Structure 1
Amino acid sequence: MIERCVISILHAVMDNLGFTRDDYQINSRAAGIITQKFLKSGNRADIASAEKSISEADLIVFGGAPLFNYRYQNFYRKTITTLELAEQYNVPVIFSSIGVEDFDGENPKCVQLKTALNLPCVRQIATRDNYEAVRKYVEGTDITAAQVADPAVFADIVFRKPDLPIKPESLSKQNGKASRGRRTRRRLRKILGQLIHTRPATQSPSQALAPDSPAVVTQTGRQSDIEQGQRCIGLVVTRRGIFKDNKIPFTAAKQHALWLDVIAKLTEKGYKYRLLTTGHYADEVFLSDFVRKNNIDLSKVRLPINQPEDLVSELRRCDGIIAYRLHASITSYALGIPSIGLTWNFKVPAFYESIGYSGRALSVEDWTAAALLEAVENAMDEGVNRDTDFAMSVYSTLFSGVREILRPDESNLVPFSFEELQSKLPSDPGTSFALYRERVNRKMRRTYENFIKG
């Protein structure tokens, strides 16, 4: 989700600066470009591909994601290595809407990260959730620091539906190839579903992937059953270990019990529900286990999610969302769907406060079915009032950073207005078959690895 929104925003920035698509190329790479093998060995040969990509770049933009995390993740090491290579090859770096943990000057990992962030190649650091920490990271430097929105606040525009249908003659030319691609994707999804979602023989894994019967489309463009007297609530689960990692007194068993209570309460009050994840492998492992152990109706489950289009489609089916994962909340906000965030990390209440709905982030003390249902009902009654100035902060800040690097003598250039940006942001082209297969294979590899570990 973040990647696709950042790419769309970057295209708009380049357009805004007077570049055509023939003038540049965006080479999107995951943090995994710095391999685990290198982190263990320290052998530069293990990051030859990363070094080649970085040396050939004119600009590096880190878009979104918690790339400074050092407390229980190793993102910071990958970021440090990337910055050291960028400095070696004199490639300027911008961090746009990064998730940032608190700064700890006594923690050697944090100090090591600060040293790398203070390299001359770093020009701008914008965070979505922790400006004070960024300010401490850049203290004593000329690096620009800012607090901005998450790029996913533009998900409604980036993942908008095409304005015009494909012409019949074009469709007939593409039909054979497209059909083959769809059939192959269905096979891959079914295989993955079988690997991580074992069910009794009476219900095949493919049922978990099948959508419900067609629903009506409301004026907001969301699929909803509200005209039939029922509203649908999306329930977004998370991985079992996230609470321990964040020192929250909550267990996987308690998460099981919470969702069962919520489902019972929703059913009692006549709501429909959808169980889903944002696509994280570990979250899907939890959901698979929850569904299997509690004999959940598979028609109410979306598993797996392998592309952001799937997440957007699922969220649009809902009238309200209860979510652990932050990007389910952010994407729901972009789509105009009221959501409740369950606070497992400071970033959850930080987001809701930034959009003017601080009461929609619930701490662990309020994680009861009654409290969650009351909160989501109140949110649905109140609706979502989107702040365009807040949304524009991520675009305007990135525009300024890129302009200073690629158009340093043209300070007269100004960022698009929100109205202009709505038409200038290119819509997402969709997940290619190659990328879809890569993501499925990555999940399969993790399944194999975990199986081998026993």
Structure 2
Amino acid sequence: MHCFDKLYKKTKPYLKKIKRKITPKSQVKVLLLTNRDSDNVGDQVIEATDISLISTVMKNLGLHRWEYEIISKAVSFVSQGYLKNRNPKLLEPAEKAIRNCDIVVFGGAPMFNYMYQNFYERTAVTIEIAQKYQKPVFFSAIGLEHYDEQNKKCQRLKKALNLDCVKMITTRDDFEMLQKYKEKESLYIDKVADPAVHTCTVFRKFWIQKKPGRKKKIGIFILREGGFTDNKIPFSKEEAIAFWTKVVEIVKQRGYDYEILTSGHFSDEAFVDRLVREYGFPLSKCVFNMNTPEYLISKIADCDGVISCRLHPSIISFSLDVPSVGIMWNAKVKGFYDSIGYGNRVFDVIQEKPEELVDRLELAMKEGIQKDETYLMSIYQSLFTVMKEQIKKNSNASPYPYRKLVSKMVCFKGTSRGEKEEKIKRKFRRVYAKYNKVADSNRKCENNGGDK
């Protein structure tokens, strides 16, 4: 693969020149914005499934592959540097990308988050650029945070969302919350499925067949230190460690194999490392270096049941027909399980005991999973409707029925060596930034005569 990567790099400039010559001027350019540069591999699954859904919409509308282009970028193309000093030079890449596209699609991810992340400001700035260049904006299956009439950040976002260029907002989370963001009558809003419910189709090449005769395996996806308390759940690091220790003990007692996993966030992996180094969790049962979507999916496909804090291992498990129980740390977990008709497969760490968690998972494994095709179709139908309005308003095309949609969806090709290296580099740089922050804090403490 290495020689092919080198060959591609050498020929890429020439391929671009050829493409410019054969690409029709009327080619539809879709700018897809996701959280694709996140360590959390669930966000990379969102990107891949969004690309497949949009490609299928184009096919459904009768467009050939050369008649459209999906330009996938991270929402962080509105840079942290720009947010700090508002230097317009730093906004030029975002301006250029939006100016040169026909449609802007925000795909999944927590684009509205303002409580302890700055997604809201990046989103607002992006909308304002789209408004400047009169580009239609669609939000598809967005994650929501608490709406606050008194919070300036929340209201800043709300104002941007009601600009003329924003045509659609759908959410995978709380529809009643989304309604509070809407002011203009023409804005289409709805509740839809997360794109990752189509993981089983888009990533079908990466399923692992379970070995016959082996022990049933439970995948246990944990959450970083502070994940509960940051979301106002009074469940400390010490309580979390005791909880996971007990869960593993019960799983082993009941005759299951198990793995401790994360969906890739470095802070989650750091917590797993602490469990190994300080609390005796066996290294052989802990999975590190979760950096690509196909690796995450292969690991979940190899499980018979899943326990997860993070949302996307639960969604991917659902798609792969692996029963799961979601641990409540954020309202979106309960929202997802309610959406799929399994609200009883959610666990409360404050009110319930580890034994009840494993009991609930065993019951889910016995009952299996039933899927509602109307729910699965919801995200595709919403994208089809608004994109048809923009691209082929007078077309007689109607959305593919579910079975045809599944047969037409584009399969994920895999992560290239270069892409994987870039993902790992980003992850390490985040770790370095965290280390530098801690080191600076320690030096400051020393200079003030305090302890390290």
Q: TM-score, normalised by structure 2?
A: 0.85
Counterpart secondary structure, 1:25: strand
Q: How does 1:23-422 map to 2 (within 5 A)?
A: 23-161=67-205, 223-224=209-210, 227-228=213-214, 230-410=215-395, 412-422=396-406
Q: 2: distance between equivalents of 1:4 and 1:253?
A: 37
Counterpart secondary structure, 1:322: strand
- Answering whether residue 414 of structure 2 is matched by residue 430 of structure 1, we say yes
Q: Residue 157 of structure 1: CA displacement?
A: 0.3
Maintained 8 Å contact 2:266/2:431: no
Counterpart secondary structure, 1:274: strand
Counterpart secondary structure, 2:71: coil
Q: Residue 226 of structure 1: CA displacement?
A: 6.5
Q: 1: distance between equivalents of 2:352 and 2:257?
A: 20
Q: Residue 366 of structure 1: CA displacement?
A: 4.2
Q: Give the letter for the 2:213 counterpart.
A: E
Q: 2: distance between equivalents of 1:90 and 1:418?
A: 33
Maintained 8 Å contact 1:399/1:415: yes
The equivalent of 1:205 in structure 2 is none
CA deviation profile, 1:369-398 (whole Å, cap 9, x unmatched): 201110100100010111111010010011
Q: Residue 108 of structure 1: CA displacement?
A: 1.3
Q: Which stretches in structure 1 are left out of the alignment for 5+ residues? A: 163-220
Q: Give the letter for the 2:246 counterpart.
A: D
Q: Residue 102 of structure 1: CA displacement?
A: 2.8
CA deviation profile, 1:131-167 (whole Å, cap 9, x unmatched): 11222212233110010000000000000028xxxxx
Q: 2: distance between equivalents of 1:108 and 1:436?
A: 38
Q: Give the letter for the 2:392 counterpart.
A: R
Q: 2: distance between equivalents of 1:248 and 1:144?
A: 34
Q: Residue 364 of structure 1: CA displacement?
A: 2.4
The equivalent of 2:447 in structure 1 is none
CA deviation profile, 1:345-388 (whole Å, cap 9, x unmatched): 11111110110110001122345320111010010001011111
Query: Greater CA deviation, 151-160 or 442-451?
Result: 442-451
Maintained 8 Å contact 1:237/1:276: yes
Maintained 8 Å contact 2:218/2:306: yes
The equivalent of 1:193 in structure 2 is none
Maintained 8 Å contact 1:225/1:231: no
Q: Which stretches in structure 2 are left out of the alignment for 5+ residues? A: 1-44, 440-452
CA deviation profile, 1:96-149 (whole Å, cap 9, x unmatched): 000112322221111111110011110000000111122221223311001000
Q: Give the letter for the 1:312 counterpart.
A: I
Q: Give the letter for the 1:285 counterpart.
A: A
The equivalent of 1:213 in structure 2 is none
Q: Residue 66 of structure 1: CA displacement?
A: 1.0
Q: How many aligned residue pairs are there?
A: 394
Q: Give the letter for the 2:181 counterpart.
A: Y
Superposed CA RMSD in Å reads: 1.4
Q: Residue 254 of structure 1: CA displacement?
A: 1.6
Q: Residue 222 of structure 1: CA displacement?
A: 5.2
Q: 1: distance between equivalents of 2:333 and 2:240?
A: 17
Percent same amino acid at aligned positions? 43
Q: TM-score, normalised by structure 1?
A: 0.84
- Structure 1 ranges of 4+ moved more than 6 A: none
Q: Residue 451 of structure 1: CA displacement?
A: 2.1
CA deviation profile, 1:225-272 (whole Å, cap 9, x unmatched): 6623x2110000111122122100012222211111111111111110
The equivalent of 1:441 in structure 2 is 425
Q: 2: distance between equivalents of 1:83 and 1:290?
A: 43
